[in-house]
Amino acid sequence: MFQIDLLKGQGIPIKRRPWGVAIVTLTVALPIFVAMVMLGFYLGDRIVISVKKQEIIKHEKYINTLSDAVKLQKSFEDEKNSINNCLSEVSSSIGQHTQWSPILATVAENMPDAMVLTRLEVKQRSAKVKVPKKDDPKKMIDISVPARTLQMSVCGRPQANNDKAVKEFMERLRYSALLAPKLEEIRVSQKSDTLEGQNVVSYEIDCVFKPKL
Amino acid at site 6: L
Give the global pTM: 0.51
Q: What is the DSSP letter of 111?
A: S
Instruction: Dump the DSSP string for 7-32.
Output: TTTSSSPPPPPHHHHHHHHHHHHHHH
Low-confidence ranges of the chain (pLDDT < 70): 1-31, 33-35, 37, 39-42, 44-45, 66, 69, 76, 83-98, 158-159, 213
Domain 100-209 falls under CATH 3.30.980.50: yes
pLDDT recorded at residue 205: 93
- Please write the tens of the pLDDT for every residue from 127-152: 777 777 777 777 787 777 788 899 99
How much is the pLDDT for 34? 65
